[in-house]
């Protein structure tokens, strides 16, 4: 292949990819716009909030499922296989862009960041969101690493955005050091795997691994190297997920950073990390449906009719027919890898969930409490992935449903944690405090916010008829299907454990008497409305959750 051919291919590939990538491109444009307005000193005249809001809304509109570019063949590779574009990508991108819109509105209402800091903060937020979109669609270990870093580095800066606050700076430093350490470990793991398997392209690595396992050519040493490499990559993802034992940054960062940043970290970052974990787990535990490279897509679309005349599709069909048999035998061969992943992830999920719930008991600061709650919730959200690993070999449909359970919960979780941190931020503005004890008797002062916060907390416990219950139901369903009884029972017990500390917050707000010397608390109409608007979906999705469930199911339909 000559150089000009290569360049030609690259051009076709890139052009073929852009249509599916336009949401992210809009985000890039928005970032550049905000930076330029900063350079030309326009920020005093144009509020960067509106730029952010418009940018993320347009991105949401272009990337959402309503106007989507259908992935060719269910799953399509972008940019020479670095990214994958399928319904799973669409689901998580929609989620992230939707969150960006809600988040922009939230920061506007809560007043953090102020107008001077706004361009910086929004640039960082949008940049991190971009990285998270890449995380959710990674198809290549290089991309995995780059996207994790791209999401993390802005987050470090965000954690320290409250200038002049010691705690905030400390949190940012802790976060950055921890992040750098885990990134190094992850990179080492990637190099180990790439060395053994000779590729960084996830589907190719899966095939190579299957070939090695099939031929039983693995020496004991290689086995260890593979396992070690896998574990090291998981360390990087576990850090993003704040899974035990890589959670230590979480409570400190959450306490130090502002509630707004916490909302961003706990929702967007977690959703993207989950999607990434799913991608990596599927990459090594199963052979993905052969994705169509963008070059082929472009050629199809350019010369579709001509190709039909020449009988090209039948050729393509013949090409996919043979791999089908091969694919199922390869999936079978990957059983040890799946088993390994399922064990490691199930163990992580159990420990994370239990630890988060137990550690939340003694907390007096609401942000620390919610940080531990976030850790525990991450544990629940990891659970369906080992279930999917167990099911992938025997029952692809059920494995897809397990991933759908994770996606569903991530969708519900968006409302729960955004709502919770919104309440914390608004109450901080009103009370100037983030101690749970200072919330005593608040129901007499701002009943709507307290009722909404209670609903959010009940949804986090998982009580019907709220959306959090349905998420948990789906997760537990996947565990039953996979017959992971230990995880199931521990997950169930954790629900009962978590009741106590969530309910304690509710109890303090509703049952406890008001302190006598409290400054008058008043919340204006707009914050109350915002909180109510975030809480309402929890009730609506608690009763009519069919559509979201179907969206999640269709998102996971092409994964296995």
Residues that bind other proteins (CB under 8 A): 458, 463-465, 469, 473-474, 476-477, 480-481, 485, 488-489, 492-493, 495-496, 499-500, 503, 507, 510-511, 545-546, 549-550, 553
Q: Least distance to other proteins from the beta carbon of 466, Å?
A: 10
Nearer to other proteins, 517 or 547 (CB): 547
Cβ of residue 469: shortest distance to other proteins, in angstroms?
8
> Shortest gap between Cβ of 81 and other proteins (angstroms)?
33
Q: How far is the CB of 381 from other proteins (least distance, A)?
A: 18
Q: Which residues pair with 84 in a beta bridge?
A: 77
CB of 140 to other proteins, least distance (A): 33
- Regarding beta strands 75-78 and 83-86, do their DSSP bridges make them parallel or antiparallel, or are they unpaired? antiparallel
The alpha carbon of 218 is separated from its chain's Cα centroid by a whole number of angstroms, namely: 34
C-beta of 460: minimal distance to other proteins in Å? 14
Q: Kindly tell me which of 513 and 520 has the beta carbon lying closer to other proteins.
A: 513
**Backbone dihedral angles phi then psi of residue 86, each to the nearest 5 degrees:** -145, -175
Considering only CA atoms, which of 386, 382, 356 is closest in space to residue 370? 356
Q: Which is nearer to other proteins, 50 or 544 (CB)?
A: 544
Q: How far apart (Å, rounded) are the C-alpha atoms in residues 432 and 453?
A: 18
**Residue 188 preceded by cis peptide, ω within 30:** no
- Min separation Cβ 487 and other proteins, Å: 11
Minimum distance between the CB of residue 467 and other proteins, rounded to whole angstroms?
A: 12
- For residue 186, give both structure tokens: 């992850």
Cα 431 from Cα 518, distance rounded (Å):
9
The number of CA neighbours under 13 Å toward the Cβ of 307 is 15
Q: Which is nearer to other proteins, 329 or 550 (CB)?
A: 550
DSSP code of residue 75: E
Q: What is the closest distance, in whole angstroms, from the C-beta atom of residue 176 to other proteins in the complex?
A: 40
Query: Across 12-159, where does the E strand assignment appear?
Result: 75-78, 83-86
**Which of 150/391 has CB closer to other proteins?**
391
Q: Residue 462: which of 342, 366, 359, 379 has the closest Cα? A: 379
The Cα 1–Cα 334 span in angstroms is 34
The residue (of 351 and 463) whose beta carbon lies closer to other proteins is 463
Least Å from the CB of residue 372 to other proteins: 19
Residue 328 to residue 341: CA distance in whole angstroms: 19
**Which residues are within 8 A (CB) of 339 and not within 5 positions of it... i.e. 6 or more apart?**
389
Residue 121, number of CB atoms within 10 A of its CB: 24
DSSP assigned state of 267: I
Which is nearer to other proteins, 155 or 494 (by Cβ)?
494
227 half-sphere exposure, CB direction, 13 A CA radius: 13
* Residue 314: strand, helix, or coil: helix
Q: Which is nearer to other proteins, 33 or 474 (CB)?
A: 474
For residue 442, what is the DSSP state? G
Nearest distance, CB of residue 501 and other proteins, angstroms: 11
CB 473, min distance to other proteins, A: 7
| Nearer to other proteins (CB atom), residue 157 or residue 350 | 350
Q: Which structure tokens are listed for 195?
A: 């060395």
Give the shortest CB-464-to-other proteins separation in angstroms.
4
DSSP symbols for 349-415: HHHHHHHHHHHTTT--BHHHHHHHHHHHHHHHHHTHHHHHHHHHTT-HHHHHHHHHHHHHHHHHHHH
- Residue 76 phi/psi, 5° resolution? -135, 140
Q: Which is nearer to other proteins, 280 or 506 (CB)?
A: 506
CA distance 546 to 193: 40
* Residue 37 or 495 having the CB closest to other proteins: 495
Give the count of beta carbons closer than 10 Å to the beta carbon of residue 212: 18
Could you give the maximum distance between any two Cα atoms of the chain, in Å? 85
Quote the CA–CA distance of 209 and 203 in Å, as a whole number.
10
Nearer to other proteins, 295 or 494 (CB): 494
**Residue placing its CB nearer to other proteins in the complex, 252 or 481:** 481
CB of 493 to other proteins, least distance (A): 7
The tokens for 340 are 């390994």
Exposed, middle or buried by CB within 10 Å (0-12, 13-18, 19+), for 431?
Answer: middle
Looking at beta carbons only, is 182 or 495 nearer to other proteins? 495
Name the strand (E) or helix (H) holding 498.
helix 485-510
């Amino acid at each position: 292949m000559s150089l000009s051919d290569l360049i030609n291919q690259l051009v076709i590939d890139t052009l073929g990819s852009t249509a599916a990538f336009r949401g992210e491109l809009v985000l890039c444009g928005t970032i550049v716009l905000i930076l330029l307005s900063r350079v030309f000193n326009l920020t005093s005249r144009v509020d960067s909030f509106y730029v952010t809001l418009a940018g993320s809304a347009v991105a949401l509109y272009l990337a959402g499922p309503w106007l989507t570019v259908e992935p060719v063949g269910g799953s399509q590779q972008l940019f020479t296989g670095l990214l994958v574009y399928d319904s799973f990508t669409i689901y998580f991108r929609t989620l992230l862009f939707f969150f960006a819109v809600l988040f922009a509105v939230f920061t506007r209402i809560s007043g953090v960041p102020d107008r001077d800091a706004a361009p910086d903060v929004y640039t960082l937020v949008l940049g991190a969101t971009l990285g998270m979109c890449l995380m959710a669609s990674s198809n290549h270990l290089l991309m995995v690493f780059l996207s994790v870093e791209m999401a993390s580095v802005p987050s470090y800066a965000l954690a320290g955005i409250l200038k002049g606050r010691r705690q905030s700076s400390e949190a940012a430093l802790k976060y950055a050091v921890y992040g750098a350490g885990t990134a190094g470990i992850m990179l080492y793991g990637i190099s180990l795997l790439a060395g053994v398997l000779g590729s960084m392209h996830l589907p190719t690595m899966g095939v190579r691994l299957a070939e090695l396992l099939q031929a039983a050519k693995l020496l004991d040493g290689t086995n260890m190297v593979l396992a070690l490499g896998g574990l090291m990559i998981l360390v990087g993802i576990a850090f993003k997920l704040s899974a035990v034992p890589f959670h230590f940054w979480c409570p400190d960062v959450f306490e130090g950073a502002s509630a707004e940043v916490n909302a961003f970290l706990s929702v967007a970052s977690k959703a993207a990390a989950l999607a990434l974990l799913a991608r990596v787990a599927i990459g090594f535990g199963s052979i993905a449906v052969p994705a169509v490279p963008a070059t082929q897509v472009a050629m199809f679309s350019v010369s579709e009719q001509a190709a039909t005349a020449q009988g090209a599709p039948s050729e393509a069909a013949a090409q996919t027919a043979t791999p089908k048999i091969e694919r199922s035998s390869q999936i079978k061969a990957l059983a040890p890898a799946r088993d390994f992943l399922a064990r490691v992830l199930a163990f992580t999920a159990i420990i994370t969930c239990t630890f988060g719930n137990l550690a939340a008991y003694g907390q007096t600061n609401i942000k620390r409490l919610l940080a531990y709650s976030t850790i525990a919730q991450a544990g629940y959200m990891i659970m369906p992935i080992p279930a999917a690993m167990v099911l992938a070999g025997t029952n692809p449909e059920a494995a897809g449903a397990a991933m759908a359970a994770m996606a569903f919960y991530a969708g519900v979780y968006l409302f729960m944690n955004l709502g919770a941190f919104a309440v914390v931020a608004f109450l901080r503005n009103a009370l100037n405090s983030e101690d749970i004890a200072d919330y005593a008797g608040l129901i007499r002062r701002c009943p709507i916010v307290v009722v909404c916060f209670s609903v959010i907390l009940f949804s986090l416990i998982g009580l019907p008829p709220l959306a959090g219950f349905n998420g948990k139901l789906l997760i537990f369903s996947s565990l039953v299907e996979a017959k992971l009884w230990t995880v199931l029972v521990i997950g169930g017990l954790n629900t009962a454990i978590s009741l106590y500390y969530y309910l304690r917050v509710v109890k303090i707000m509703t049952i406890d008497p008001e302190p006598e010397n409290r400054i008058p608390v008043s919340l204006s109409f707009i914050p109350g409305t915002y909180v109510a608007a975030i809480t309402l979906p929890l009730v609506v999705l608690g009763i009519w959750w069919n559509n979201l469930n179907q969206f999640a199911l269709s998102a996971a339909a092409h994964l296995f």
